[in-house]
């Protein structure tokens, strides 16, 4: 697009290749180590051996869930930051993930819905409801209010979720790992039924990327430029709900991806969203996949990705709170 466009495209290509290698490697890590060439063989030319079954039925859905959920949450975070003008906006912190998780638990427990293709709609509804609530409570010039509103809505929904799970052991059993943000035990058909929504939202996000830069200049400027704010805010919200809802349905409420990745990307790309979003997509995928895989590779223990992400992301949040201009006063 611009002069640095070519260099940028090359870097993006390199990163994509890195992600691909990481993905193949991650599918080899686990209780039984499988070499990367063996993984590749299982993917392209499966012969029905045990290693093929492990790769295709256990590792592939898990890695796929991590990669796509991470990409979706990072992109959703970047868009939310543009929409709210708030550097701390993120689907996890602003309660969107908690809303989706709450609705999924409700659907499991009260409506006896179990198929992922139906649960996904519960997740969308919950994400949209929580986002609207947090925005209504916290919108304003002070960036902390939105975070506080997010914390409160999260803790409220968390309490209700906990009450429901205490009454419904069966639902608890289904979602125990999922609510901690674990990618373990994903079924390929579950992942496959969420994937179209998630990818669709990602495509929309990338198509609309140019709008988000205008939006990030603030409502007065954006309207002065002739942006139909009501329309584009609505579409952006729809995209965010689609991204966060399907990511949560797939991987549980993963926090901080949407915060860490866009900020790190901006340090390299600047503030133009046409460049931010593609990097966020790759970066979110890499971070989430690494969070899921590294503990297994290094210590042989299966730590839920949500926990690893919180350990990585919370210090980043603190650093941001300490150093960000808008929050300094």
Partner 1 sequence: MTERLYGLGMRDATLGYGRGGPVIEDLSLTIPSRRFTALLGPNGCGKSTILHGLAGLHTPQCGEVVLDGKSIRALGTKALARRVGLLAQTASAPDGLTVGELVRQGRYPHRPVFGAWSGADEDAVESALRRTSMTGYRDRPVDSLSGGQRQRAWIAMTLAQQSDILLLDEPTTYLDLAHQIDVLGLMRRLVDQEGATVVAVLHDLVQAARYADHLVLIRGGRIVAQGAPISVLTPENVKAVFGVDVVILSDPDSAAPICLPRCNGAATSNPQA
Partner 2 sequence: MIRVFLVLLALLAVFFVLALALGDQRLPFSVVLGALLGAGETPGHVQTIVTGLRLPRATLAILVGAALGVAGAICQAVLRNPLAEPGLLGINAGAALAAMMIIVQAGTVPESLLPLATFAGAVTMIAVIFGFAWRGGTTSLRIILIGVGLSAMAGAGASFIATFGEIALVQRAMVWLAGSLQDSRWIKVQTLLIWASPVFLMIWMAARELDLIALGDTVARGRGQQVDLQRVLMMLACAVLAGASVAAAGPIAFVGLAAPHMARALAGRRHVALIPAAALIGALIVLVADLAARRAMPPLQLPVGVVTALLGAPFFGYLLWKKRYD
Both tokens assigned to 48: 């029905």
Q: Which of 11, 15, 180, 294 binds partner 2 (CB under 8 A)?
A: 180
Which residue in 24, 195, 297, 327 binds partner 2 (CB under 8 A)? 327
CA atoms within 13 A on the CB side of 207: 10
Residue 317 binds which one of partner 2, partner 1, none, with CB within 5 to 8 A depending on kind?
partner 2
DSSP string, 64-91: HHHHHHHHHHHHHHHHHHHHH--TT--T
Q: What is the CA radius of gyration of the chain?
A: 19
Q: Which lies closer to partner 1 via its Cβ, residue 86 or residue 246? A: 86
Q: At 324, list the tokens.
A: 């960000």
SS3 313: helix
Give which of partner 1, partner 2, none residue 95 binds (C-beta under 5 to 8 Å, depending on kind): none
Q: Taking CB under 8 A as the rule, does residue 139 contact partner 2?
A: yes
Nearest-angstrom CA–CA distance, 197 and 303: 27
48 contributes a contact to partner 1 by CB under 8 A: no
Which of residues 1 and 318 has its CB atom nearest to partner 2 in the complex? 318
Residue 153 touching partner 2 (CB under 8 A): yes
Q: Which of partner 2, partner 1, none interacts with 228 (beta carbon under 5 to 8 A by kind)?
A: partner 1
Q: Which stretch binds partner 1 (CB under 8 A): 67-75, 79-87, 98-106, 154-162?
A: 79-87
Alpha helices in the chain (DSSP H): 5-26, 36-44, 50-53, 60-84, 96-110, 116-138, 143-167, 169-179, 188-207, 209-216, 219-224, 229-251, 257-269, 273-299, 305-323, 325-328
Q: Minimum distance from CB of 315 to partner 2 (Å)?
A: 7
Decide if 194 contacts 207 (C-beta within 8 A): no
CB 212 within 8 A of CB 269: no
Could you tell me the smallest distance in angstroms from the CB atom of residue 304 to partner 2?
A: 6
Decide whether 2 or 47 has the Cβ nearer to partner 1: 2
Which range, of 64-72, 145-153, 186-194, 236-244, touches partner 2 by CB under 8 A? 145-153
Q: Closest by alpha carbon to 161, among 107, 241, 239, 116? A: 107
- 194 to 233: interface string for partner 1, x by CB under 8 A: -------------x--xx-xx-xxx-xx-xxxxxx-----
Q: Please tell me whether residue 151 binds partner 2 under the rule CB under 8 A.
A: yes
Identify which range of 30-38, 69-77, 243-251, 298-306 contacts partner 2 by CB under 8 A.
298-306
Rounded Cα–Cα distance for residues 279 and 282 (Å) = 5
How many residues sit in the footprint of partner 1 (CB under 8 A)? 27
Q: Tokens 């640095």 appear where?
A: 4
Q: Which residues contribute to the site for partner 1 (CB under 8 A)?
A: 1-2, 82, 85, 87, 207, 210-211, 213-214, 216-218, 220-221, 223-228, 266-267, 270-272, 325
């Amino acid at each position: 697009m611009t002069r640095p466009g070519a260099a940028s495209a090359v870097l993006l290509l390199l990163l994509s290749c890195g992600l691909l290698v990481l993905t193949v490697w991650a599918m080899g890590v686990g209780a039984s180590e499988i070499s990367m060439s063996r993984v590749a063989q299982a993917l392209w030319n499966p012969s029905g051996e045990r290693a093929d079954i492990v790769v295709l039925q256990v590792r592939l859905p898990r890695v796929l869930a991590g990669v796509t959920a991470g990409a979706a949450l990072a992109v959703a975070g970047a868009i939310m930051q543009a929409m709210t003008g708030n550097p701390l906006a993120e689907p996890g912190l602003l309660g969107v993930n908690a809303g989706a998780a709450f609705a999924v638990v409700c659907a499991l427990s009260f409506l006896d819905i179990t198929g992922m293709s139906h649960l996904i709609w519960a997740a969308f509804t919950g994400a949209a409801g929580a986002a609207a609530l947090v925005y209504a409570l916290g919108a304003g010039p002070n960036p902390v209010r939105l975070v506080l509103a997010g914390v409160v809505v999260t803790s409220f929904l968390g309490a209700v979720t906990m009450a429901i799970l205490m009454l419904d052991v069966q639902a608890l059993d289904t979602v125990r790992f999922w609510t901690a943000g674990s990618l373990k035990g994903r079924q390929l058909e579950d992942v496959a039924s969420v994937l179209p929504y998630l990818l669709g939202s990602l495509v929309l996000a990338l198509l609309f990327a140019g709008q988000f830069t205008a939006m990030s200049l603030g409502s007065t400027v954006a309207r002065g430029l002739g942006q139909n704010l009501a329309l584009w805010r609505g579409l952006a919200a729809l995209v965010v709900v689609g991204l966060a809802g399907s990511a949560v349905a797939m991987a549980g409420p993963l926090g901080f991806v949407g915060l860490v990745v866009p900020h790190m990307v901006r340090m390299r790309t600047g503030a133009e969203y046409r460049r931010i979003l593609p990097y966020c997509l790759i970066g979110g995928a890499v971070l989430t996949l690494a969070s899921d895989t590294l503990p297994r590779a290094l210590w042989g223990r299966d730590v839920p990705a949500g926990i690893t992400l919180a350990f990585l992301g919370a210090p980043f949040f603190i650093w941001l709170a300490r150093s960000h201009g808008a929050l300094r006063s």
